[in-house]
Structure 1
Amino acid sequence: MKTISTLVATALLLAACNGNKNPYDASGTFEAVETIIAAEATGTIKTLSIEEGLTLQAGQQVGSIDSVQLYLRKKQLQAQILAVLSKKPNIASQVSSLREQLKQAEREQQRITRLLKADAATQKQLDDANAQIAIVQKQIEALQSSLGITSSSLNEETLPLQVQIEQLNDQLSKCKVINPVKGTVLTKYAEANEMATTGKPLYKIADLSTIILRAYITGDQFAQAKINQPVKVLVDTDHENYKTYEGTIEWISDKAEFTPKTIQTKDERANLVYAIKIRVKNDGFLKIGMYGEVKL
């Protein structure tokens, strides 16, 4: 009887030990790539149509910052450009009178040429007519050159103004709050009618469609883990049950570190561990900061 009792006690002890054995190799907490979206302009926030928990698309406009003063400065610069360009000479109209003189000189030259053939004019008269044509042509060339230089100078005078307009266009575009990445709003830092300055955080966003479990493994497990290795991720649903997810190791640290206080590994006696990141597709149940376990 004594022997049987001893065997039963030993069996119960072994069962208890097996029951306390962790069903996982490492544990950690879930995190995501969080992006803080800041204002790119200074002014009063006119609209900011976001709330915590709202899912946003990349490229979606979610707000606007007052841009009236920028718009008025742009209109002023446009008016200055028009005023400068209004001084440009009309080359065609100013040269037209000389072109008429050229046509008249050419007709006179042709008339004298006919008279010379009929011995009714002298060679000097023809030379004078040819000289008159040359003079008018040079006058046209000189006037065109002068007016062209004036026009080019006025065009160049508007270039700095056009650059300023481009700068204002860029500043005006930044008055629109455009969400740059797809994700869920985690924290909202500002409200409509508040004053925004360049660089002021407006909200924080993260893509939670996939989430990352940062866990820690021992040196023995380090040799077994590989990039792109599929693993099982376990998450508590209650005190007794787990929910299982498929995960993939996407990063393994090459440097050992002391075991974080909040992390338990399979070998709790290990002082040094290696961090790994496991990407898990989120069905909506996983949250940032939740604990998860890994089965390699």
Structure 2
Amino acid sequence: MKQTAFLLAVACLAGACGNDRDYDATGIFEANTVTVSAETAGKILRLNLDEGDSLTMGQSVGIVDTTQLALRRKQLQSRQRAAEQTSPDIAAQAAALRAQIAHQQEECARIGRLLADGAATGKQADDARARLNVLRGQLDALLSTLGKNRSSISENASALQYEREEVEEQLRKSRITAPLTGTVLLKYAEAGEYATPGRPLFKMADLDNVYFRCYFTASQLAHLRLGQEVTVIADFGGDEQYEYPGRVTWIAQESEFTPKAIQTRDSRANLVYAVKVAVKNDGRLKLGQYGEVRL
């Protein structure tokens, strides 16, 4: 289709050179189109749009069945809560040992006083200190075990949380929305059909801001620059033409060869450069419509 449009534009350009009409280049009106595709798999429950409808950015227009995703989300929520509930209370489980250590410390201090008074033996003091060291070792081992258990449970809960976020993202992608403010050009699917990731659902474009793709010869490039204001003439057939202000937004860096059927006196005219001119659409301009541009 683009090649056909190109041939038409170049043919018109060549004809213009022969007829010496009041324009510098010819071309067609185009727009940046966006094809909206399904991002998840499932039955299309709703797709409320028709060709020609006007949509606003972010507008909800449909949804893909999310039953399985919703059930999986609930399952992950339950597993995550169960994992978090099994996390050990380190302070509570270590409380008994800490109490024994505190008691043994008092016992060591008491035996130490008795030893100073000659009422206890050195062996009793050594045994008390050994008992205190054992209790401290048991506390360290308990804290290490509980800490590892908590870390393992925490990692498991975090993995479940990541899975939940992934499901939430898939649920979000199941909602079909308009990516921009514009008009629906083509509709490719209907409610009740099965969608797969990447399947086109509809195509839309911003028809309020179109651009005119035209072609200039190499000798004309010296008169062109980005941001330049030009006049675009839309041809509606017969003698009906309308002029629109336009602005050059893009100039091709490389030339293109014109088709062999196009004859030019200057061999250099066999090379043309594509140019885009931004035009504000008043509602009359249609995509693929022929036009002319005057510098």
TM-score interval for Structure 1 and Structure 2 normalised by the shorter chain: 0.7 to 0.9
Distance 1:271 1:258 in 2: 5
Distance 1:276 1:94 in 2: 76
User: Aligned residue for 2:109?
Assistant: 110
Give CA-to-partner distance per residue, 1:216-246, whole Å, 9 cap, x none: 2334333433332221111235633432111
Q: Cα distance 1:195–1:39, how it changes in 2: closer, same or farther (>3 A)?
A: same
Contact 1:27 1:264 in 2 (8 A): no
Q: Cα distance 1:62–1:134, how it changes in 2: closer, same or farther (>3 A)?
A: same
Q: Which amino acid aligns with 2:291?
A: G
Q: Cα distance 1:173–1:260, how it changes in 2: closer, same or farther (>3 A)?
A: farther
**Is residue 2:256 matched to residue 1:256?**
yes
Q: Cα distance 1:104–1:30, how it changes in 2: closer, same or farther (>3 A)?
A: same
Give the CA deviation at 1:160: 4.1
| Structure possessing the higher radius of gyration over alpha carbons | 1
Distance 1:271 1:134 in 2: 96
Give CA-to-partner distance per residue, 1:146-186, whole Å, 9 cap, x none: 22222223333445434333322221121111322232211
User: Aligned residue for 2:140?
Assistant: 141
Give the CA deviation at 1:67: 0.8
Identity of aligned residues (%): 45
Give the CA deviation at 1:47: 2.1
Q: Which amino acid aligns with 2:245?
A: E
User: Aligned residue for 1:3?
Assistant: none
SS, match of residue 68 in structure 2: helix
User: Aligned residue for 1:190?
Assistant: 189
- For normalisation by structure 2, the TM-score amounts to 0.81
- For normalisation by structure 1, the TM-score amounts to 0.81
Distance 2:173 2:158 in 1: 23
User: Aligned residue for 1:77?
Assistant: 76
Alignment of 1:8-87 (within 5 A): 22-87=21-86
Q: Cα distance 1:67–1:285, how it changes in 2: closer, same or farther (>3 A)?
A: same
Alignment of 1:1-296 (within 5 A): 22-236=21-235, 239-253=238-252, 254-258=254-258, 272-296=271-295
SS, match of residue 45 in structure 1: strand
Q: Cα distance 1:101–1:252, how it changes in 2: closer, same or farther (>3 A)?
A: closer
Distance 1:247 1:257 in 2: 26
Distance 1:225 1:91 in 2: 76
Is there any run of 5+ residues in structure 1 with no aligned partner, and where? 1-19
Q: Which amino acid aligns with 1:221?
A: Q
Distance 2:271 2:144 in 1: 82
Distance 1:277 1:260 in 2: 24
Give CA-to-partner distance per residue, 1:196-222, whole Å, 9 cap, x none: 111111111111222111122334333
Distance 1:182 1:100 in 2: 69
SS, match of residue 207 in structure 2: coil
Moved more, 208-217 or 64-73: 208-217
Give the CA deviation at 1:283: 1.9
Q: Which amino acid aligns with 1:193?
A: G
Contact 2:235 2:289 in 1 (8 A): no
Is there any run of 5+ residues in structure 2 with no aligned partner, and where? 1-18
Contact 1:259 1:272 in 2 (8 A): no
